[in-house]
Every structure is written in C-alpha cells, then in structure tokens.
A and B are shown apart, each in its own frame.
Chain A
C-alpha cells in the first residue's frame, strides 16, 4: 500500500513566523498532492493542492513546493497566525485518481 511519510509530528511556531511541513512519498505517479487542515472536532478541509507538473503553488499565505526528483512536497505557511493552529495532513491521490491516502498529520501550534 502506498504510504506518505509526514514530518514533523508536531510544530510550535511564533506568530509571524514560517511554518514548514514536509511529506515524502514512494514510487508511482500521482495525479494531485493536496493538503488538508483539520481543527479539533471537525473534519479535514482542503487547503491547497498541486499537480505533479508544477513545482510551486501559492495561495495567500500558503505555498506548496513540489520536488518530483526527490519525491517530496512541502507546505509553507508564511506569517503564521494563532488561527492557523490545527492539524495538517498531506495526501496523495492514488489508484488511478480514485483513492486519497493521507499522511500521519502535523499538529501546528502558533504562539503569540
């Protein structure tokens, strides 16, 4: 079964700082690399996604960087805010685009 390795498990960042979360995947080509955000007591919500033929995608303070040769992709949160405190999951779309496989999650806390 395809796996996604996510790090770090937890992260504490000061307000205004940059949060960086990394994911690595195994072989095979995928259709999309999305990131989901989950607040306590809520289901995950799509944050941003990137196609494998693009090296970087930016939406507001959130940027995905994709390194195809290294089989890695990362989420950067610029100017991190306390409201960004949540658990972040990377994911890969596998099985011919029919299955979303999630990483283990990163619990982010942004301190004042």
Chain B
C-alpha cells in the first residue's frame, strides 16, 4: 500500500515569494491534515479536511496561507507571501475518518525562507 505522498521534499525561497506544497493521501482516506513542524517541536495542526470540506482551519494563518482539496483526494497548501518565520517542515497526514488518533504522515516538505 502506497503511503502519503508529498512534493516537493525540499524548497528554498526568498521571503515575499509564493510557495505551494502538494499532498496525495492514502487511497480511501477521507480525512486529510496539514501540519507544520518547527525545528525541535511536535507537529501543529494547520487545517483538517473531511473529503472536500475544511472542517477545522482555526490554526491556519489565513492572511497568507490557503489550502484546497477540490476533489476530496489530493490537496495543496499555499503560502503567499512567505516570511522568514514560515521556515519549517510541512507535513501532510491522512486517516480513514475524522476523530482518529491513527494518522499516517507523509515525509514532509522542508521549507527554508531566506
């Protein structure tokens, strides 16, 4: 069974530039999560999707971050414009249903903003 796929794995951009991350969850998983993991910290939830619907985006900085999951499968997370403090690993995870402690994480995208 293929795991959660994320791309790119690494991204280096200058501040004020836009950046996008892509995620393809495990087949059949209706719930998709985007997390941000700062160095030396645990993952922090940015947004959770149930199929196409964003059911929890309370931690997403909406002035510069946006996300979409148009067909209820893969998802894109965008930052525009990026700031130095956005440097982190962006993790995508999926689960069969919401409310599950069993989440499957992708390898993440390491973003460096210079």
Contact = CB atoms under 8 A, between A and B. Distances in A.
Nearest to B103: A100
Given A42-B107, A44-B105, A102 B43 contact: yes
Interface of A: 6, 31-32, 34, 41-46, 49, 89, 91, 93, 95-105
Contact of B56 (A44, A97, A98, A105): A98
B53 interface: no
Interface residues of B, number: 23
A103 B102 CA distance: 16
Contacts of B101: 31-32, 34, 46, 49, 91, 93, 100
B44 A102 contact: yes
A89 B43 CA distance: 9
A32 B91 CA distance: 21
A44 B92 CA distance: 10
Contacts of B93: 43
A105 B107 contact: no
Interface string B61-83: 00000000000000000000000
Given A96-B99, A98-B98, A43 B105 contact: yes
B25 interface: no
B99 A98 contact: yes
Contacts of A99: 45, 48, 56
Given A34-B102, A93-B101, A43 B45 contact: no
